[in-house]
């Protein structure tokens, strides 16, 4: 789903009337609604009367300090994004404003194109924030055990499940590892007339061949070594309900013939028993293998295949349903937040873009593990791209940039190759356009704490200050 367009409401606090009007014109030209005030007192009154998406605050006001206003707004409306504007731009002021909760820092003089770019970034941030809120609402409406997603591919699966669930027919569920075959089987059971009965899963790949027959059909006391008591098999335990044969392609030939008799005659014989028992079950099977090719290889009985495959249900891989990734990721985020007892707020836009672009060879299960990994590593309440598993970061080639660039990615700018330059000079020129957003994202992430930002960047405190100066932090306030 595309993010909704965002109409900004902006409060501009500037003591110079001409500058105030120019700010207002630029903001309105970008489709935003704005309120113009010239004093600290009027700004406080305006924030009391209504809430704003963004505040553009001058540092020096006739009746107060803009930094104090930032602190006030942080308590009254913590979601508002505050941008400090000043002609007195120094690194210390920038850091102080960030510590007080400023979202960005803009120093005079600057061209108004920079303000337009800033407004666009605010819109993108708010759109991402609102998308996370929408996904959280959607997640809260999901019932336990329900297949999550609204893509055409998953809607088709849900519709087919609704069609086949009421029937007594056997169902063969096919799909790659981790796509949710067991979840689909549970949905079939839940929507069937057998929903009040048990749902029993037999993992044919996990149980050794020597034990699988006993696990399926049960055994009598003394029927083999260590059979000290009579035990019921999964078929009997599933009476009145549904039996899922997961990874059915792994069944040994000797068991395939016994399963065929169960499906044909609805009877089975426990190991060591002289009498047959009737089976009141519905059989659903699942596999990641192409059974047709296994039949041609002599590994699977053709007659059993046709008994299992009365109705086929194909579950698409996650790569084929990328629009479902955000709601799935937020559902797993919600689950893991509860388990880890961490109040996670959402997934940042750069992180979500990486999740959407990844191929997901392990499908939904891999996504679930990726979110669990990120929640465990995240020091704050947002999942940032840095906290995703290494495989995802490497697949997006983000390791070619410093790792915190993933917080605010920008298009790569190719240096002029007509110049003769060393590899070191080439690297420096290539990175130059990204330095401002790199510095800004680190300071935002660490609440303006230069020491923490420097440690994250792998630099000394003085080295980070040099990086800030190289990024023209003082003159541009980016």
Tens digit of pLDDT for each residue in 381-390?
889 888 999 8
- The residue among 437 and 223 whose pLDDT is bigger is 223
pLDDT bucket at 163, cuts 50 / 70 / 90: very high
Residue 387 shares a structural domain with residue 373? yes
Q: How many CA atoms lie within 13 A of 386 on its CB side?
A: 18
What would the mean pLDDT of 45-51 be, rounded to a whole number? 88
Same domain, 165 and 311: yes
- Let me know whether 240 and 326 are in one domain: no
Q: Place 414 in a pLDDT band, splitting at 50, 70 and 90.
A: very low
SS3 track for the chain: CCCCCCCCEEEEECCCHHHHHHHHHHHHHCCCEEEEECCHHHHHHHHHHCCCCEEEEECEECCEEHHHHHHHHHHHCCCCEEEEEECCCCHHHHHHHHHCCCCEEEECCCCHHHHHHHHHHHHHHHHHHHHHHHHHHHHHCCCCCCCCCCCHHHHHHHHHHHHHCCCCCCEEEECCCCCCHHHHHHHHHHCCCCCCCCEEEEECCCCCHHHHHHHHHCECCCCCCCCCCCECCHHHHCCCCEEEEECHHHCCHHHHHHHHHHHHHCEECCECCCCCEECCCEEEEEECCCHHHHHHCCCCCHHHHHHHCCEEEECCCHHHCHHHHHHHHHHHHHHHHHHHCCCCCEECHHHHHHHHHCCCCCHHHHHHHHHHHHHHHCCCCEECHHHCCHHHHHHCCHHHCCHHHHHCCCCCCCCCCCCCCCHHHHHHHHHHHHHHHHHHHHHHHCCCCHHHHHHHHCCCHHHHHHHHHHCCHHHHCC
Q: What is the pLDDT of residue 462?
A: 64
Residue 360 lies in a domain: yes
Residue in the structure block whose two tokens are 């935003």: 32
pLDDT at 401: 39
Both 314 and 337 in one domain: the answer is no
Q: Count of CB atoms within 10 A of residue 8's CB?
A: 19
| For residues 351-360, average pLDDT | 91
Q: Does 246 score more than 90 pLDDT?
A: yes
Split at pLDDT 50, 70, 90, the class of 476 is very low
pLDDT on residue 136: 63
Residue 346's CATH number? 1.10.8.60
Residues 311 and 384 in one domain: no
Per-residue pLDDT, averaged over 159-179, amounts to 96
Beta pairing, strands 81-86 & 54-58: parallel
Choose the final residue of a domain: 349, 368, 400.
400
On whether both 192 and 287 belong to a single domain, the answer is: yes
Residue 75 lies in a domain: yes
pLDDT surpasses 60 at 310: yes
Residues 30 and 66 in one domain: yes
Residue 434's pLDDT is: 66
Closest CA to 271 of 205, 206, 226: 226
Strands 267-268 and 277-278: antiparallel
Select from 344, 365, 400 the last residue of a domain: 400
The more confidently predicted of residues 103 and 180 is: 180
Do 217 and 262 fall within a single domain?
yes
Q: What is the pLDDT of residues 259-305, one digit of tens each?
A: 999 999 999 999 999 999 999 999 999 999 999 999 999 999 999 99
The answer to whether position 396 is within a domain reads: yes
Q: How many angstroms separate the first and last alpha carbons of the chain? A: 31
Whole-number pLDDT of residue 70: 84
According to the per-residue pLDDT averaged within each range, which of 66-75, 175-184, 430-439 is highest? Answer: 175-184
Q: Which of 149-153, 181-185, 213-217, 431-435 has the lowest mean pLDDT?
A: 431-435
pLDDT of 249 above 50: yes
Lowest mean pLDDT among 258-272, 326-340, 360-374, 437-451: 437-451
Whether 365 and 441 map to the same domain: the answer is: no
Same domain, 18 and 133: yes
**Domain boundary at 318, 350, 384, which?**
318
| Residue-number span of the structural domain to which 351 is assigned | 321-400
Report which of residues 360 and 423 the model is more confident about.
360
Span 69-86, mean pLDDT? 83
- Of the chain, the percentage scoring pLDDT greater than 70 comes to 82
The mean pLDDT of the chain is 83
- Sign of the Cα pseudo-torsion (93, 95, 97, 99, in order): negative
Do 130 and 231 belong to one domain? no
Model confidence at 402: pLDDT above 70: no
- The total number of structural domains in the chain stands at 4
User: Is the model more confident about 5 or about 110?
Assistant: 110
CATH value at residue 124: 3.40.50.2300
Specify whether 289 is located in the same domain as 167: yes
């Amino acid at each position: 789903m595309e993010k909704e367009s965002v109409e900004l409401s902006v409060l501009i606090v500037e003591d110079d009337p001409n500058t105030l009007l120019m700010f207002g014109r630029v903001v309105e030209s970008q489709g935003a609604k704005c309120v113009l005030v010239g004093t600290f007192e009027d700004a406080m009154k305006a924030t009391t009367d209504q809430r704003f998406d963004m505040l553009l605050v001058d540092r020096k006001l006739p009746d107060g300090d803009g930094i104090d206003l930032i602190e006030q707004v942080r308590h009254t409306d913590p979601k508002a994004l505050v941008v400090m504007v000043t002609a007195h731009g120094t690194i210390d002021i920038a850091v102080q404003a960030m510590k007080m909760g400023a979202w960005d820092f803009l120093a005079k003089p600057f061209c108004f194109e920079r303000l337009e770019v800033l407004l666009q970034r605010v819109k993108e941030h708010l759109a991402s924030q609102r998308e996370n809120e929408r996904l959280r609402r959607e997640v809260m409406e999901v019932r336990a055990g329900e297949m999550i997603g609204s893509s055409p591919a998953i809607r088709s699966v849900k519709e087919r499940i609704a069609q086949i669930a009421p029937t007594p027919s056997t169902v063969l569920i096919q799909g790659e590892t981790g796509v949710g075959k067991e979840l689909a089987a549970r949905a079939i059971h839940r929507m069937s007339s057998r929903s009040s009965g048990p749902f029993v899963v037999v993992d044919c790949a996990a149980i050794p061949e020597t034990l699988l027959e006993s696990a399926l059909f049960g055994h009598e006391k003394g029927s083999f070594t260590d059979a000290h008591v009579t035990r019921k098999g999964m078929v009997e335990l599933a009476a009145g309900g549904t039996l899922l044969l997961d990874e059915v392609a792994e069944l040994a030939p000797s068991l395939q013939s016994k399963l065929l008799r169960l499906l044909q005659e609805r009877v089975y014989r426990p190991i060591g028993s002289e009498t047959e028992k009737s089976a009141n079950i519905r059989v659903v099977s699942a596999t990641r293998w192409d059974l047709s090719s296994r039949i041609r290889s002599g590994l699977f009985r053709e007659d059993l295949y046709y008994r299992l495959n009365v109705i086929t249900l194909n579950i698409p891989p996650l790569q084929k349903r990328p629009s479902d990734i955000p709601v799935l990721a937020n559902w797993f985020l919600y689950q893991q937040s509860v388990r880890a007892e961490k109040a996670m707020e959402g997934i940042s836009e750069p992180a979500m873009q990486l999740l959407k672009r990844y191929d997901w060879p392990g499908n939904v299960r891999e996504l679930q593990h990726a979110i669990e990994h990120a929640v465990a590593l995240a020091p704050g309440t947002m999942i940032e791209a840095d906290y995703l598993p290494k495989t995802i970061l490497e697949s997006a080639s983000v390791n070619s940039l410093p790792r915190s660039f993933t917080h605010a990615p920008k298009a790569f700018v190719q240096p002029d190759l007509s110049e003769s330059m060393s590899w070191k000079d080439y690297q420096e020129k290539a990175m130059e356009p990204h330095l401002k957003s790199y510095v800004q994202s680190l300071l935002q992430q660490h609440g303006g704490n230069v020491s923490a930002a420097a440690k994250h960047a792998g630099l000394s405190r003085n080295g980070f200050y040099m990086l800030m100066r190289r990024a023209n932090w003082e003159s541009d306030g980016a």
